[in-house]
Structure 1
């Protein structure tokens, strides 16, 4: 395998040289230079989605799931009711988080190849006015399906509830505008469309809502209110931050701005997806989702009908050629996933398709 393989997964992702170089410096976590870097990070995160003036950015050590759990634990009280809209593994994970926290969790579920239905959400909120919070995954990376976030947000707001948006796989590329879309909290991480490195999650939370959340969270380290108050008091993290990951993410955010922001990144990812889907179709691999539901984040392909196809051989053959696809199958149907995001463009996907063509015959063998 090449020393620097191309990562075609939901994350971690292939990063740029400048992002990796940003991690070479050591930082003192209480030093004014790192405090300034954290302030830039928080400001830039808000700028990605138009949240300045209404929301505050609260970064947190750990993966995106840490940030999701912290947001739910901080904003949803035991006396509240959380409705989770689920059509994949990450919606189900939020249901599990709510249950572990001892919250009143209600669920609406759809098949993993079907989007959340806004009409069903409307009906559920009409039937249960006790719902205070609604949780939605923007892009469900179980399959790569894009859910109708803006429509759901308007319905939730109309019923006086608060929307908690898992934007893990969409933040930095797919459109999110907090100036026009009523979302109480947007949750994401450093290592997906922002093209940073793993190790940092964050939530952008309405300032007034977070200010009222003092004492709600039962966890010391996951308390976003306390984390926010710490930043506001002295600019410092309450506990040891992943300083190199912060530096890499700030550099990645600067690169996002230079690229042209989320619209330009979406255009590049969309082009990656088009090259991938067209080329894979020519090689006999069909998308799992209907094309109109497919987000340019990660594509799920059905395992070929050829009974001789052996995924492990297919995966190993691509890995030997420097391409790491996602080996985990989350869908109920036999499938595999190939990511479209990261510091990649159509030339990388043209090379991938050539590699797929080379290994396809070798991957097909006796069942």
Structure 2
């Protein structure tokens, strides 16, 4: 095993050595070579979701939350109304962002272990014609629940509204086909299923929707329309880009394509999850979600009630053995999360299960 810990987290995550090596070069941000690298980045991001043509790729410095805030501020204009579909912490975060941006926002909520229901959304849209945009978290990293994108997108489109999709924990592994599913904007980041390093958020936005959003954003640096116009003008970022992060993400996208694209990546993540869940079940752990709504991205486990086991010592014992897990984000009950994504495979999870068994022996 490497001396470096295995990150069993939903991002940052374990990256491939080739991705890390791509960061060893210094780039001039206004140099033609870096402008060409940015163009490749934008093209490859669109290709992951079959977005070329109707959509444009707009990368932005910062984390996934930065791009969500930029999208809400830019695409939901003053006088428009956003409905957020909430069944976890990241849906709640979008509600808070919209409020801080001064946008009118309402929420439709479900328990953390229940997927968003299209029929209930359709009813809400019929009842409130003032709603112009709907926001959905595709895979809620709070629990790992997978929400029904195609069905939700169809309801939103039929009602003549615009869908904003937080695809942070799905983009690059779970299928998003913009030729088949009507989405106004897909929002994601470099450091999750694409297996890049943190530092870039990006939006794939319908060209017409973005063109109509000029002047909406109250922010200078988070204005997606202005960022897009800058790229279209001269291929350059408006403000200093994280050049090494761009290089790493382009390398990660090349690796994704070479490995077979999102379908192959999902298959690897599914094998990781299946190995993890089978082993944890044998060790007496309970999966929080029903398997029917569980995405192979991150798994939430309840702390076993019959064992004297608390998260902090459990975390520290696994960390000492080279595995970093995540605390739970459930509003009720103690839990922990184990990510199945990153440049890791079945063998890493088999070793993790040996480590968990060792930690449990004296418990």
TM-score range (shorter-chain normalised) is over 0.9
Structure 2 partner of 1:117: 117
Q: Secondary structure at the match of 2:361?
A: helix
Deviation (angstroms), 1:331: 4.0
Alpha carbons 2:191, 2:198 under 8 Å: kept: yes
Counterparts of residues 55-94 of structure 1 (less than 5 Å): 55-94=55-94
Alpha carbons 2:87, 2:109 under 8 Å: kept: yes
> In the TM superposition, what whole-angstrom CA distance separates every residue of 1:294-318 from its partner, at most 9, and x where no partner exists?
0000000011012411221211111
Deviation (angstroms), 1:161: 0.3
Structure 1 partner of 2:53: 53
**Distance of 1:55 and 1:309 partners within structure 2:** 49
**Distance of 1:310 and 1:98 partners within structure 2:** 36
**Distance of 2:148 and 2:332 partners within structure 1:** 23
Deviation (angstroms), 1:333: 2.2
Alpha carbons 2:61, 2:241 under 8 Å: kept: yes
Alpha carbons 1:299, 1:337 under 8 Å: kept: yes
Relative to structure 2, which stretch is displaced further, 88-97 or 329-338?
Answer: 329-338
**Structure 1 residue 256 corresponds to structure 2 residue 256:** yes
Alpha carbons 2:86, 2:92 under 8 Å: kept: yes
Mark the runs of 5 or more structure 2 residues left unpaired by the alignment.
Answer: none
Structure 1 partner of 2:320: 320
Alpha carbons 1:195, 1:343 under 8 Å: kept: yes
**Distance of 1:93 and 1:330 partners within structure 2:** 14
**Distance of 1:258 and 1:281 partners within structure 2:** 34
Structure 1 partner of 2:338: 338
Relative to structure 2, which stretch is displaced further, 81-90 or 353-362?
Answer: 353-362
Q: Secondary structure at the match of 2:188?
A: strand
Q: Secondary structure at the match of 1:157?
A: helix
> In the TM superposition, what whole-angstrom CA distance separates every residue of 1:191-246 from its partner, at most 9, and x where no partner exists?
00000000100000000110111101010000000000000000000000000000
Relative to structure 2, which stretch is displaced further, 328-337 or 220-229?
Answer: 328-337
Change beyond 3 A, Cα 1:331–1:343? farther
Alpha carbons 1:143, 1:331 under 8 Å: kept: no
> In the TM superposition, what whole-angstrom CA distance separates every residue of 1:83-112 from its partner, at most 9, and x where no partner exists?
000000000000000111111101100000
**Distance of 2:301 and 2:114 partners within structure 1:** 16
Deviation (angstroms), 1:265: 0.1
Deviation (angstroms), 1:130: 1.2
Alpha carbons 2:142, 2:328 under 8 Å: kept: no
Structure 2 partner of 1:296: 296
**Distance of 2:327 and 2:316 partners within structure 1:** 10
Mark the runs of 5 or more structure 1 residues left unpaired by the alignment.
Answer: none
Structure 1 partner of 2:154: 154
Counterparts of residues 109-258 of structure 1 (less than 5 Å): 109-258=109-258
Aligned residue pair count: 363
**Distance of 1:166 and 1:41 partners within structure 2:** 20
Alpha carbons 1:142, 1:331 under 8 Å: kept: no
**Structure 1 residue 98 corresponds to structure 2 residue 91:** no
Structure 2 partner of 1:284: 284
Deviation (angstroms), 1:329: 3.2
**Distance of 1:188 and 1:310 partners within structure 2:** 33
Q: What TM-score, normalized by structure 2, do the two folds share?
A: 0.99
**Distance of 1:328 and 1:300 partners within structure 2:** 7
> In the TM superposition, what whole-angstrom CA distance separates every residue of 1:33-56 from its partner, at most 9, and x where no partner exists?
000000000000000000000100
**Structure 1 residue 349 corresponds to structure 2 residue 330:** no
Alpha carbons 2:325, 2:337 under 8 Å: kept: yes
> In the TM superposition, what whole-angstrom CA distance separates every residue of 1:9-45 from its partner, at most 9, and x where no partner exists?
1110000000000000000000000000000000000
> In the TM superposition, what whole-angstrom CA distance separates every residue of 1:326-356 from its partner, at most 9, and x where no partner exists?
1243442211000000001100000000010
Relative to structure 2, which stretch is displaced further, 303-312 or 157-166?
Answer: 303-312
Q: Secondary structure at the match of 1:165?
A: strand
